[in-house]
Copies of this chain bind each other. A is one copy, B any other.
């Protein structure tokens, strides 16, 4: 990937997210989200895949899974998974993601949320692509599990990407699919013939 593009980090939030009734819940970390999303992120040169949960036991679960593939038996058996999981950062929430990315110089971070519906201050894929190419502030791209990010998170975003898919059509992509597609739209090769 081009070294002079702005950094793009992925943030997957397990809380606060919504259930299908629109209530705020916490969802469980899954092994497959760690693997699939880290592999997709790594493919596009992403260096930080933050996985956020406020629950201690869930944070431990992330560490155990990562430990197995990074240092345990999985590491020699499957170096591709090790490379992918190297970019996972287990954190307790959005604040820690932003602090980590800001660094000691307290650099400004552009927080962009994603959603299955049109809401908030919209930023097009093209505009975000340009932002990244022009090497402006680093970008934290937020995804929610379950039925999406709770309003309190959406309110903290600087902008929201448009939903994938058309208004009114079937629109129930898994978060794994959504991350993959959005990474390709933002960082994929435009030269596709």
Contacts and interface: CB of A to CB of B under 8 A. Distances in A.
Interface of A: 1, 32, 35-36, 39-40, 42-45, 80-81, 83-84, 124-127, 162, 164-166, 169-174, 176-181, 184-185, 188-189, 192-193
Contacts of A43: 164-165, 169-173, 177
B166 A189 contact: yes
A192 B125 contact: yes
A48 to B, nearest CB: 15
Contacts of A40: 173-174, 177
A42 B170 contact: yes
A177 B39 contact: yes
Contacts of A185: 184, 188, 192
Contacts of A179: 177
A93 B20 CA distance: 37
A125 B189 CA distance: 11
Nearest to A128: B193
Contacts of A35: 174
Contacts of A81: 172
20 contacts: A36-B176, A39-B172, A39-B174, A39-B177, A40-B173, A40-B174, A43-B164, A45-B169, A80-B172, A81-B172, A83-B172, A124-B192, A162-B192, A164-B188, A166-B189, A174-B176, A180-B181, A181-B181, A181-B184, A184-B185
Nearest to A37: B177
A115 to B, nearest CB: 15
Contacts of A42: 170, 172
Given A80-B172, A173-B180, 10 more contacts: A43-B164, A43-B169, A125-B193, A127-B193, A162-B193, A174-B176, A176-B177, A181-B181, A185-B188, A185-B192
